[in-house]
């Protein structure tokens, strides 16, 4: 003989009456103390009784929220790493303090640039979109540069990191750097020509020929889009890079920088590896 079932929930001193051969629906929910992380999760209904006994089959669900995309959702730290007469370089750390991933596409093959005294670097950038994604609690570090064909005048200058979007958005604290005057005043010192680079083919696949305007000993360094040095060598003539890192592993496709250094002179060239 069918009977009715009565469940008592002592925490709330209430009861649920289920008539014989009947079905009732109860709305249940989950509220956590920490935000739900993206990914796969298992949900299990449990009765509010001693021991929280599970009822029904567990259900698997995917939580895939839309990533954040506002540039002001991140925290930024800009620092200068080197200064020369021809250019400066620095790093921009982009930290995601949120509980959701952050993602944004940049249209000009580079994430950010250094502006000096409010002036953009004298360089051209290919119209190639790149996407940066930063997971919660993680950072993305970008190597950024500024170069000026005429060099910097002696004295103090102000450098800013600016995101390279439709608008040049300043991020992080501005930094002041100094260029010392020449110590050889009153004497004539022939000025060395600026160091320059040619690379080709650009884009490249397996091999890239690097030609410097100077044939004296210099250091050739190659960095990826995140500012990580993947290869370095020194020599006096043209150099051909085989597209591999220090460990002879093939470098992935993407945007790279080649930097030639010779004393106080540096030259930077960007290229794309397919």
pLDDT tens profile 160-178: 999 999 889 999 988 888 7
pLDDT in tens, 18-44: 788 888 787 888 877 676 777 788 988
Residue 71 three-state SS = helix
Q: Is the peptide bond before 81 cis (omega within 30 degrees of 0)?
A: no
Q: For residues 49-72, give the mean pLDDT.
A: 87
Ranges of beta strands (E only) in the chain are: 5-9, 14-18, 39-43, 59-63, 75-83, 87-95, 102-106, 112-116, 130-134, 139-147, 155-164, 168-179, 197-200, 208-212, 218-224, 229-235, 239-241, 254-262, 265-273
Residues near 260 by Cβ (< 8 Å), separated by ≥ 6?
195, 197, 210, 212, 214, 218, 219, 220, 221, 266, 267
* Single pTM value for the model: 0.52
48 vs 189 pLDDT, higher one: 48
Distance CA(264)–CA(148), nearest Å, equals 14
pLDDT at 11: 53
Which tokens belong to 104? 């944004």
Burial of residue 102 (CB within 10 Å: 0-12, 13-18, 19+) is: buried
- DSSP symbols for 145-189: EEE-TT---SEEEEEEEEEESSSEEEEEEEEEEEEPPPS-TTS--
Name residue 254's beta-bridge partners. 273
Distance CA(136)–CA(100), nearest Å, equals 6
pLDDT in tens, 82-125: 887 778 888 999 999 998 899 999 998 889 999 998 998 877 77
pLDDT at 73: 95
CA distances to 70, 146, 148 from 194, in Å:
39, 15, 10
DSSP 8-state class, residue 86: S
8 Å CB contact between 106 and 129: yes
User: Looking up tokens 């993680």, which residue turns up?
Assistant: 138
Q: Which domains are assigned to the chain?
A: 1-64 (no CATH), 71-179 (2.60.40.2360), 197-273 (2.60.40.4070)
**Closest by CA position to 196, among listed 208, 214, 209:** 214
R_g (Cα) of the chain, nearest Å: 30
Q: Is the pLDDT of residue 210 over 60?
A: yes
């Amino acid at each position: 003989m069918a009977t009715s079932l009565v469940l008592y929930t002592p925490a709330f001193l209430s009861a649920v009456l289920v008539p014989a051969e009947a079905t009732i629906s109860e709305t249940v929910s989950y509220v956590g103390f920490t935000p739900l992380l993206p990914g796969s999760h298992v949900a299990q209904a449990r009765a509010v009784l001693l021991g929280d006994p599970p009822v029904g089959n567990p259900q698997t669900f995917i939580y895939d929220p839309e990533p954040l995309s506002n540039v002001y959702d991140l925290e930024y730290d800009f620092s200068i790493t080197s200064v020369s007469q021809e250019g400066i370089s620095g790093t921009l750390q982009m930290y995601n303090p949120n509980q959701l991933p952050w993602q944004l596409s940049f249209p000009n093959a580079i994430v950010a640039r250094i502006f000096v005294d409010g002036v953009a670097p004298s360089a051209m950038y290919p119209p190639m979109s790149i996407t940066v994604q930063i997971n919660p609690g993680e950072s993305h570090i970008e190597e950024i540069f500024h170069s000026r064909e005429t060099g910097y005048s002696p004295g103090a200058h102000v450098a800013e990191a600016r995101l390279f979007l439709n608008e040049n958005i300043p991020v992080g604290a501005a930094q002041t750097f100094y260029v010392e005057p020449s110590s050889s005043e009153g004497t004539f010192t022939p000025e060395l020509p600026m160091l320059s680079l040619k690379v080709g083919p650009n884009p490249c696949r397996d091999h890239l020929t690097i030609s410097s305007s100077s044939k004296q000993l210099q250091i050739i360094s190659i960095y990826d889009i995140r500012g990580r040095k993947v290869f370095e060598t020194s020599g006096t003539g043209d150099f051909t890079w085989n597209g591999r890192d220090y460990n002879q592993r093939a470098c992935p496709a993407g945007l790279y920088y080649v930097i030639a250094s010779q004393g106080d002179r540096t030259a930077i060239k960007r290229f794309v590896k397919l």
